[in-house]
Amino acid sequence: TATIVWFRRDLRLTDHPALWEAAQEGLVIPLYILDPHESSGAAELWWRHHSLHKLGEALATLHLPLLLRRGDPLQILLEIIQSVAADGVVWNRRYDPRGIAQDTAIKADLQARGVSVRSFPGDCLVEPWLHHHDQQPYKVFTPFWKSLLARFPVAPALPQAALQPLPSELAQHLSSDSLADWQLLPQHPDWASRFPEFWEPGESGADTRLREFLEGGLLNYSKGRDFPAQPSVSRLSPYLAHGEISPRQIWQETQGHLLKNPELAAQGEHFLRELGWREFSWHLLFHFPNLPDTPLRPEFADFPWQNNEKLLHAWQRGQTGYPIVDAGMRELWQSGWMHNRVRMICASFLIKDLFIDWRKGEAWFQDTLLDFDEANNSASWQWVAGSGADAAPYFRIFNPVLQGEKFDAQGVYLRRWLPELAALPDHIIHQPWAAEPAILAKAGVALGIHYPRPVVDHAQARQKALDIFQDLKKKT
Ligand code: FAD
C-alpha cells in the first residue's frame, strides 16, 4: 500500500519533509486539492496553474501521477484512502489561521476513523511558536530575530526524495481532474499575458533564480535593494509563496555561497535578515490571527477612512499623477510583482495621501501579487499604516517626489513603466506638474490627456495625516 502526500503551498520535490518521510517508508500518492472555499487571488492562480503543471511533469518523469482533485479536502482524502486502502496521510504544516483550523479538524476526523495522519514542519526557518521567556510573543523584530538565531539552529534542507513508481494496479484506482478544466488562467481578457516575460514558475525556475541572485544581485544587495531599477533583489518571493523553494534551502545555499565568498558576508547577512522578516510576519500571524483585518494597535480602529472609489481606482490602475506611485502600481498589474521600496511608497500613498483603508490596499495586493503571502502582506500593510507590531512611526509619511528622486534619480524605473513620460528630462520626471509648459510640449506630454494631474496635493494630505495621527495618539 501507499501513503498519500497532500501537497499544499509546497509544490516541490526537494526539501519536502512529508514527501521525504513517506518515500523512505514505501510508495507515495502525490495529491493536490483545489479547495473551492479557499480565497485565492487571481494572479496567484496563474502561478499555481504553471506550478502544478511543472510539479506534474517532474513527477511524471519518475512514473508517478500527480492527482488533482477539486472539492472538500476531507471527503477527497477519505475517498482515496478507501479506493486504494492507503496507509495514511502526510503533509507539511500550514501556519495560517484557516489552514491550521482545517488541518486540525481533518486530522481529528481521520484519526477517529483509525487513519494514520502525520504532519511535518512547514515552510518557515523555524516553526512560529517562538516566545519571549515571559511566554509572550515577540512584537519587535530585532529581539525576535536574535532569539530565533540563538535558540533554533535552522534544520538542514533535505535532498530530493527517491520516489518509487506507482504500480499500475494501484494507479488504476485513482482518478484525477485535468488541470485545464480548473481554468485557473485568465481568459477574457488575458491580463496575465506579460507574466511569462518576467517569470518561470516551478522548482527549476526557483533554483535558477537563486543561483543567479547569489552570483549577481547579492554583490550589492545592502545598498542596491532600495533602488527599484537595479537587479539587486532576489525576486524569490513568488517561488517562496508557492513553496517551490523553501526558506531552509535559501538559507543553506546562501550560507554555502558565503563560505566560498567570505567577502560577501555582510551582503549575505542582510539578505538572510530580510528572510527573517518573513519569519517575523508568520510569527505575528500565528500569534495574532486577526492580523489581516484588525489593527494590532486598537486606537487605529478609529481612523477616519475615506470611501472614495474613484481615488481607489486611480491608485489601482496607476493613474494618480504621482509617477513613482503609478510606476509601481503598473509594475504590479503588468508583471504581478512590485519592488519592496515601491510597495512601501504605494501603500503609504493609499493610506496617508488618499486616506483609504489599508485593508482595501491589502485586498488589491492579494488579488494582483504573484507572491501573495497572507503573513507578509498583512504584516507589511499594518507596518506602513503604523498600526502593526514594530511599525513605521506615524510621522513617517513617504513623500512620493523625494522618494522617487532619491531611489530612481535617472528615472530608469519610471520610464520602464510609464512610457508616456519617457521623453521628460530626469530633473522633472518625478513631478511633471511642475515642468515648464515648453518642456512638457517638447516631451509630448499634455497633462490631463496623456498623463493625469496629481489626484491630491501631497503637502496638504501630509498635514491632514499628521493631525489625524496626533489625535489617535492622544487616545493611547
Ligand atoms: P528580497 O529582498 O530578495 O528578499 C528575500 C526574501 O525575504 C523575500 O522573497 C521575502 O520572502 C523576504 N522579505 C524581503 N523583504 C521583506 C519584507 N519587508 N517583509 C517580509 N519579508 C520580506 N512579501 C511577500 O512575500 N508577499 C506579500 O504579499 C507581500 N506584501 C507586501 C505588501 C506591502 C505593502 C509591503 C510594503 C511589502 C510586502 N511584502 C510582501 C514584502 C516585500 O515587499 C517582498 O517580500 C519583497 O519585495 C519580495 O521581493 P524579493 O523576493 O526580491 O525580496
Label each residue of 346-409 as H, E or C. HHHHHHHHCCCCHHHHHHHHHHHCCCCCHHHHHHHHHHHHCCCCCCCCCCCCCCHHHHHHHHCC
Evaluate whether 332 touches 341 at the Cβ level (below 8 Å).
no
Q: Is the CB of 237 under 6 A from ligand 1?
A: yes
Give the residue among 288, 279, 314 at the shortest CA–CA distance from 382.
288
Strands 88-92 and 2-7: parallel
pLDDT tens, 372-397?
A: 999 999 999 999 999 987 767 777 89
Q: Is the CB of 371 under 6 A from ligand 1?
A: yes
The 10 Å CB-count burial string (b at 16+, else e) for 316-325 is: bebbbbbbbb
pTM: 0.97
Question: Ligand 1 centre from 340 Cα, in Å?
Answer: 6
Three-class DSSP category at 123: coil
Other Cβ atoms closer than 10 A to 474: 8
Give the residue among 446, 405, 442 at the shortest CA–CA distance from 424.
442
Q: At what angle do helices 358-368 and 309-316 cross, to 10 degrees?
A: 40
Q: Which is the catalytic residue, given 282, 381, 383, 417?
A: 381
- Quick one: pLDDT at residue 76? 98
pLDDT tens, 215-251?
A: 999 999 999 999 999 999 999 999 999 999 999 999 9
What is the rounded distance in angstroms from the CA atom of residue 249 to the CA atom of residue 428?
44
Give the residue among 341, 332, 330, 312 at the shortest CA–CA distance from 405.
341
Q: Is the CB of 373 under 6 A from ligand 1?
A: yes
- H or E, element range at 27: strand 27-34
Which residues of the chain fall short of a pLDDT of 50? none
Ligand 1 closest atom vs CA 347: 34
Q: Is the CB of 369 under 6 A from ligand 1?
A: yes
What is the rounded distance in angstroms from the CA atom of residue 275 to the CA atom of residue 126?
12
Beta pairing partners, 32: 7, 68
* The amino acid at 271: F
What is the rounded distance in angstroms from the CA atom of residue 432 to the CA atom of residue 67?
54
- Quick one: pLDDT at residue 194? 96
Q: Is the CB of 372 under 6 A from ligand 1?
A: yes
Give CA 373 to chain center in angstroms. Answer: 4
Beta pairing partners, 66: none
Residue 21, φ and ψ in degrees, nearest 5: -65, -45
Active site residue 251: no
- Quick one: pLDDT at residue 150? 86
- Quick one: pLDDT at residue 151? 78
Active site residue 377: no
Maximum C-alpha span of the chain: 80
What is the rounded distance in angstroms from the CA atom of residue 96 to the CA atom of residue 438?
55
DSSP code for 447: B
Evaluate whether 92 touches 206 at the Cβ level (below 8 Å).
no
**DSSP strands (E only) in 101-145:** 116-120
Domains of the chain listed by start with CATH number: 1-122 (3.40.50.620), 124-154+203-287 (1.25.40.80), 298-474 (1.10.579.10)
What is the rounded distance in angstroms from the CA atom of residue 11 to the CA atom of residue 14?
9
CA dihedral 278, 397, 411, 198 (to 10 degrees): 30
Active site residue 145: no
Question: Ligand 1 centre from 376 Cα, in Å?
Answer: 7
Which single residue is written with the C-alpha cell 510597495? Answer: 343
Q: Is the CB of 274 under 6 A from ligand 1?
A: yes
Active site residue 277: yes
Active site residue 417: no
- Quick one: pLDDT at residue 36? 94
Active site residue 305: yes
- Quick one: pLDDT at residue 289? 97
ipTM over 0.95: yes
